Structure 1
């Protein structure tokens, strides 16, 4: 990390006040650091949503120490980790798959170590606020130049637990990764998966989206479109979002509400009859 002005980012599902406490801990240990709150608005407990935000955002941030805290397993045997990436970034947070997609965008995982050494924690560690007591102090010490291996023994980070896309029977089935603030539903599939299932599609192709295990409509026509304004206001579309994932959206509306989808949903896309 640059000695004169280390960079630390924070991404949490905490909201502003608890995230500010974490920033304060970083500043108290590394007062020269630049600390950016990337987001404190990740949907509570939505690990995949946090993972996708980190994957999309971190390549555009300066190399540094990036804290991610979406941690429904806080206080359980899940491990606290620091991960070094090929670009040189250090990712600090729970070992629940939150960082692996971002690490892959940053040159891959070079090494990972458990945050075990109490020298790099606060003196008193709460069972439910590891963001303040474990992750933020570790991040600050790493920003000051402590080698990641000094924090504890090596580990292999867990992958993000999201079902992979399935292709077959002229259809693509994909799990929901997250729902954004506009109600657009981002799927765990990309344009390559769509082409494998349905062949090369032109924009404007007529498709059918079928949702599973929800109270939404069993099937609804959608258009494969380049952007929201390609369809009429209120109409649904399938598009490729800025991070390369497929998504269901409604022009100036909520696809989550229209299709009855949440983060545990699954969608099958097929060609219209």
Structure 2
């Protein structure tokens, strides 16, 4: 019924599926060690396997990627100018070094990092609010541009040039830090957000296992914008998109001309939180 694309579909609990999704041999061996061997059939939570890969990828390099982009124009930044900012490859592992990130007048941020009428505990971008751009500057949202349908298509912001690197000389604090990419230097990519194939932890016990398939097991983002370093990333390299999860290039569909990244696993177990 074409519910999946084959035995190597990244949602499938097969070796080929796990490999394509980005699961490492070490994480699978760790999983096997944790569950052990028993004489009886046993059900093991998917969360155990997911925790194994999270722990194995904890040392993966960090990069910036925006999977649902919203354009931001920094109105007081010089037109036509680009500067290179320094970004750590891993905040806890200085041995991994750093890289340059281009910054310019037009950037992309995540669409869900902006709310026009935010609730009380929303600390990201909204009209009149100041936030920190990761590795860059403080910016303040001043104007919201919408299309004829009322959809937000652009934000007009100003930046504080004294806050380069993310800290204010006057000591003022901001509660929100968001990621971004420079519009002029962004690499286009398709990003596939994989989740668990079944909603039931034991689909074999269901009367019809098709009925417990997770309708949200795959979301495809065709307009993702990634930092330029990923244009030259090795096909086998696994990275963390900061604030989003761990990702790898799709071994079957990704090409240098049309990058495709698969989400291996999210940063946190959202299923465990939902179960509570």
Indicate the TM-score class for this superposition, using the shorter chain for normalisation: under 0.3
Give the structure with the larger helix fraction. Answer: 1
Give the structure with the larger strand fraction. Answer: 2
TM-score by length of 2: 0.21
